[in-house]
Structure 1
Amino acid sequence: MTIPSLHIIGSREMGGAERWFVRFLRAMQRAGLPVQALVRSGGDLATRHLAGIPTHELPMRTVWDPLSRWQVSAYARAARTPIVQTYMGRASRLTHLKPGRGQIHVARLGGYYALHPFRHAHAWIGNTKGLCDWMIRHGLPAERVHHITNFADAPIPVDTAKVAALRAQIGARDDDWLLLHPGRFVKVKGHATLLAAFARLPAEIAGRRPRLILMGDGPLREALETQAREFGIMDRIVWAGWQHEPAQWFHLADAVVFPSRDEETLGNVVLEAWAYRKPLVATAFRGAREIARHGEDSWIVPCDDPAALAAGIEGLLADAALQTAFVAQGVRRVTDDFGEAAILARYQALYARLAGG
């Protein structure tokens, strides 16, 4: 039994949650599941990412705007989907559906947010077990909190000539180590630790020069550039900016480094690194402690420890056998534990149960 669903998010710019929103809806569509989107007018999602998915736009001005609340809730009611799933605080606050009217409001949380914007929902989904346990400890009824993790997208093929052209564009030598870090320039992503660790690396590792690709943007950009200049590593960093189509950068990379701080809930980059067959060095943030296995599918170091992170990167790049082992085990993990079909089946089973199907 397939359950139609409406998915609402109020973001203006792209980030991790927004990328998941697109991935999830496109996967639902590929599986033939009836899905609609409601997004913020003029935002990145509305203008470039949801082509082919039935999508409506509303202003969603502020969480306190009564007109926005009325518009969002009225649209959700008019959609008549048994499931209305909201993402993050703005969309959840603006969506109010009365129980017993044939619609269930499911709020999906991808982080340890303040819970008051979400408490009026009828059910909650957390993408890690730790997050679900935290929601229950903070007063949400256990029987209405559900754990469904994220799936890993299949890697998007990119022509080798395009990847080679990208390498030339950034001025990388054929034998450079290219270390990729995708993520918004915000504190939780640990960029400051990464730059301090990169500054500790030797000029060459196993006869090859390491270079760092920062694929992202955000409010800390200026501070990070200042830090890089102070460390004397600006000429070894590629500031790639936010990439709406990041696949070519994953294909280009030799390894992925993900140095998030403890507050990081899941970390989709872990799954992306495995899917793109890239060896991974990550910190022991909350999500990594739950899904990654040190020494098997990734090399895990303490959070906020530049020396440990530098040692982990250097050790990985110097050990070809370890890189091969991490890639093989990462592929197995995304296939067996984080497969798209299995995760979608769990969502549909939950939707059916909530809708009384």
Structure 2
Amino acid sequence: MKSLHLIGSAEMGGAERWFKRFLEAMVRAGEDVHAVVRRDSDLARHHLGGIAHSELGFRTVWDPLSKWEVARLVARSDAPIVQTYMGRATRLLHLPPKGRQVHVSRLGGYYKLDPFVHAHAWIGNTQGLCDWMIAGGLPAERVHHVTNFADPVKPCSPEALAALRAELAVQDEDLLLVTAGRLIDVKGQRYLLDAFARLPERLAGRRLRLVVLGDGPLAEPLRAQARQLGVDGRVHWAGWQQDPTPWFHLADLIVFPSRDPETLGNVILEAWSYGKPLVATAFRGARELTRHGEDAWVVPCDDGAALAEGLRTVIPDAELQAAMVRQGRRRIEHEFSEAAVIGAYRELYAKLLRER
């Protein structure tokens, strides 16, 4: 079944990474997909190799030329399913109520719903998000929960890992805490820096080091915070990584300190997939996905002291880490596999077309 997928962002973030991963998985499953992305965006320049795609202006949600470009491209497509991601692409697309195509809007966050109400159906990646959409007035029979899947683990050569260890000057005694995400307020990195400063330089015989994957508007304030706390010498600012695979392989432990509005948190799934112990905060997505003490160690949001105490608990306890890793891998296999999620999308698309 052919489907058209529209996203209007300029830079890479969690939603854009999901867009890329999802379409790659659809292609692997033999689905006929076509991406429509913003001209000269990060997605267009670096991330869509092997995926058929077009580029449009996606300038602003009020721009008549952008609306016309979107309308013309979609009208010329023979794809019965047209799926939009986030606000800009959704607001620029208005299909006829009784036309031949179905407009599916996928929400990845708790956005204001007014710009999304004209779609024919909505997808939320957590049940909590779906419940919120229904409470906000969207018809329950047209709101569908389809979760995310974890990226298949990519191999990383010993040579590549050795090169990365050399770049970081990693010693055998070092224990690498890795966090990943845009450097924006909702990701909570300031609380992680606070927690890191509360920990001793060595714990359980290991020297603690923190690797921050990501970039964004808070990059300089966070660096300044690390300097003020006196931990900048043990923090490595890796920047945005188009492929974080080597970093996940190198990590000893994944920390995900997001604040409550975080909807799902793909890093949870990535930690489980790569077999890494996870310490996370109890944001909305983590409360739905994780099971404290079984597949993750979960602490309150916005609390550096609590996050530090969680790390103090997990780092010295090899048995706890191993148990969480085993359970996380089981969760990936049974609940968050690529095959299961792509199958759910196929079933949903077929259902929507039958009902059309």
Tell me the distance in 2 between the aligned counterparts of 1:175 and 1:183.
Answer: 26
Partner of 2:322: 324
Tell me the distance in 1 between the aligned counterparts of 2:38 and 2:225.
Answer: 35
SS in 2 for 1:303: coil
Tell me the distance in 2 between the aligned counterparts of 1:34 and 1:11.
Answer: 23
Say how many residue pairs are matched: 355
SS in 1 for 2:203: coil
Partner of 1:234: 232
SS in 2 for 1:213: strand
Unaligned segments of structure 2, at least 5 residues = none
Partner of 1:177: 175
Please list, as runs of the form range in 1=range in 2, the aligned pairs for 1:36-185 lying within 5 A after superposition.
36-185=34-183
Partner of 1:271: 269
Tell me the distance in 2 between the aligned counterparts of 1:73 and 1:313.
Answer: 51
How far does the alpha carbon of each residue in 1:258-312 deviate from its partner, in whole angstroms, 9 at most, with x for none?
A: 0000000000000000001000000000000001000000000000111110111
Q: Give the superposition deviation at 1:99.
A: 2.1
Tell me the distance in 1 between the aligned counterparts of 2:190 and 2:342.
Answer: 36
Partner of 2:334: 336
Partner of 1:25: 23
SS in 2 for 1:209: strand
Question: Which amino acid letter does the alignment assign opposite residue 188 of structure 1?
Answer: V
Tell me the distance in 1 between the aligned counterparts of 2:249 and 2:212.
Answer: 15
Q: Give the superposition deviation at 1:74.
A: 1.4
Tell me the distance in 1 between the aligned counterparts of 2:164 and 2:313.
Answer: 27
SS in 2 for 1:307: helix
Q: Give the superposition deviation at 1:355.
A: 1.0
SS in 1 for 2:103: strand
SS in 2 for 1:22: helix
Q: What is the aligned-residue RMSD (CA, Å)?
A: 0.8
Does residue 255 of structure 2 align to residue 257 of structure 1? yes
SS in 2 for 1:117: helix
Question: Which amino acid letter does the alignment assign opposite residue 95 of structure 1?
Answer: L
Does residue 215 of structure 2 align to residue 220 of structure 1? no
1:35 corresponds, among 33, 45, 48, to 33
Q: Give the superposition deviation at 1:161.
A: 1.8
Tell me the distance in 2 between the aligned counterparts of 1:22 and 1:48.
Answer: 10
How far does the alpha carbon of each residue in 1:44-76 deviate from its partner, in whole angstroms, 9 at most, with x for none?
A: 100110111110000111110011011112111
Q: Give the superposition deviation at 1:238.
A: 0.3
Identity %: 62
Normalised to the residue count of structure 1, the TM-score between the two structures is 0.98
How far does the alpha carbon of each residue in 1:298-352 deviate from its partner, in whole angstroms, 9 at most, with x for none?
A: 0000001111101111211101111111111111000101011111111111101
Q: Give the superposition deviation at 1:40.
A: 0.2
Question: Which amino acid letter does the alignment assign opposite residue 264 of structure 2?
Answer: L
Question: Which amino acid letter does the alignment assign opposite residue 147 of structure 1?
Answer: H
Tell me the distance in 1 between the aligned counterparts of 2:230 and 2:214.
Answer: 21
2:2 corresponds, among 1, 4, 21, to 4
Question: Which amino acid letter does the alignment assign opposite residue 131 of structure 1?
Answer: L
